[in-house]
Amino acid sequence: MSSITPEELNLLIEQTYKVENEFNELKASYVHLQDTVEKVVEFLPNAIWILSADGDVFLQNSYARELGELVKMLEYKKEDYEVKFFTRSFLIKSSTYKDKVMFSATDITEQKRKENLATMGQMAAHLSHEIRNPIGAISLMSSTLKKRVIPENIPIVEEIQKSVYRIERIIKATLMFSKGVEAHKTTLHWNELKEALDTAIGYYGYTKEITFLFPEKDFTLEGDKDLLEMLFTNFITNAIDAIEMDDEEFGVVRMTHEQTKEFHTFYIYDSGVPIENKQELFEAFKSSKLKGNGLGLVLSRQIAQAHGGTVSLCTSKEKCFEIQLHTHTSQDKKQNNSKKPHKPHSTF
């Protein structure tokens, strides 16, 4: 057996070092690639699982880990499918590569909710159109009947009129929800809205002794009178219903007003039952009231937004809603000035 020369030994050592360096570079490249893949998977907005042939989780992102038991409901299918997991809906996609199966789960709960709302809105609008004509006839006939019945029966006719008024409000709200809110602003006085509220309260009807306290001082607003009537009426009637549900035999509905250069701010308080499910307050077709259709607060918020404002719960401990309406905008001023001829100021 021939011996290895020193030159051959040095060459062998050099080759060994070279192979080791190449191995370390390859290993580092693999670790970098694996880290990159994990970061890409983590960056994706949906839950990702990669399962090995025996069904064990080979790789998953943090969103997938949050969903936990959902992975047990997954099955490989060529077509996309939906899975209901607790209160949420997920769209599942799957694909295979060699001995691995990848699943992705996308939360489509909000999308499904909007689709359901659109369907419900279309159905409600259709029914409202169908109901509108007979309700109009009942309203007309009840007005005629009230003039002809004996005095003792007038309260019965008035109850019919109040019920018809309620239905007309529901129809109006439903049609507005299906078509969308569009404000046609003019200058109006608070006293006009206050008078409309007093009329609405009279038609609405209630069994308990309720005190209504509204701002007494008159002021002007830039807004759509019909829409603002609906906005404030929604809150007042909600307050009446809350008081009717309370154990006390009397109640108070109070509205206050503050004005700055930018906003009119209204606070509406009532002594009725507390608000339940605050997170669903502005959810369409969801209502805690037996009489409610779940559109009042949704439309009220849309009306406020159409007037550059907002609707929200007050931060105070007392039960209260805050309504903000923009006083005016420079665009409103320009439009009003361009549409109306200049009139000299009157001097008194």
Q: Pairing state of beta strands 263-270 and 57-60?
A: unpaired
Residue that finishes a domain, picked among 109, 133, 148? 109
Q: So what's the pLDDT on residue 284? A: 57
pLDDT at 277: 73
**Whether residue 163 sits in one domain with residue 272:** no
Among 192, 195, 198, 322, CA closest to 268: 322
280 located within any domain: yes
pLDDT, position 209:
92
Domain with 241, as residue range(s), is: 182-343
Q: Does residue 137 sit in the same domain as residue 171? A: yes
Q: What's the CATH code of the domain at 157? A: 1.10.287
Specify the amino acid at residue 275.
Answer: I
Q: Same structural domain for residues 82 and 50?
A: yes
200 and 305 part of one domain: yes
Q: Say what the pLDDT of residue 322 is.
A: 93
Query: Token pair of 279, please?
Result: 């997170």
Task: Give a yes or no: residue 303 inside a domain.
Answer: yes
The Cα 137–Cα 157 span in angstroms is 14
Q: Based on the domain organization, do 18 and 73 belong to the same domain?
A: yes
End-to-end Cα spacing for the chain:
130
Strand pairing category for 209-213 and 250-259: parallel
Residue 195 lies in a domain: yes
Distances (CA, A) of 211 to 119, 194, 251, 271: 40, 15, 6, 10
Q: Which residues pair with 320 in a beta bridge?
A: 269
Token pair recorded at residue 90: 């997920």
Per-residue pLDDT of the chain (348 residues; tens, 9 = 90+): 567 787 877 887 888 888 888 888 887 776 777 677 667 768 788 999 989 888 888 888 889 988 988 988 888 887 899 999 988 899 999 998 888 899 999 999 888 877 776 676 677 667 767 777 788 888 888 888 888 888 888 888 888 887 787 777 767 766 666 666 778 889 999 999 999 899 888 888 788 999 999 999 999 999 999 889 889 998 998 899 899 998 888 999 999 999 998 999 999 999 999 887 776 676 655 555 555 556 778 888 888 998 999 999 888 778 899 999 998 644 444 444 444 444 433 332
| Residues with Cβ within 8 Å of residue 111, at least 6 apart in sequence | none
Out of 180, 208, 225, a domain closes at 180
Taking the C-alpha atoms of residue 270 and residue 242, their distance in angstroms, rounded to an integer, is: 8
Overall number of domains in the chain? 3
Last residue of a domain, one of 123, 156, 180: 180
pLDDT at 195: 92
Place of tokens 């559109």: 295
171 and 203 housed in the same domain: no
pLDDT of residue 112: 82
Give the CATH number of the domain where residue 40 resides. 3.30.450
Which of 179, 228, 255 minimizes the C-alpha distance to 326?
Answer: 228
127-143 core/surface letters (b: 16 or more CB in 10 A; e: else)? ebeeeeeebeebeeebe
Q: Do 323 and 208 lie in a common domain?
A: yes
Instruction: Tell me how far apart the alpha carbons of residues 151 and 268 are, in angstroms, rounded to a whole number.
Output: 37
pLDDT for the residue 205: 74
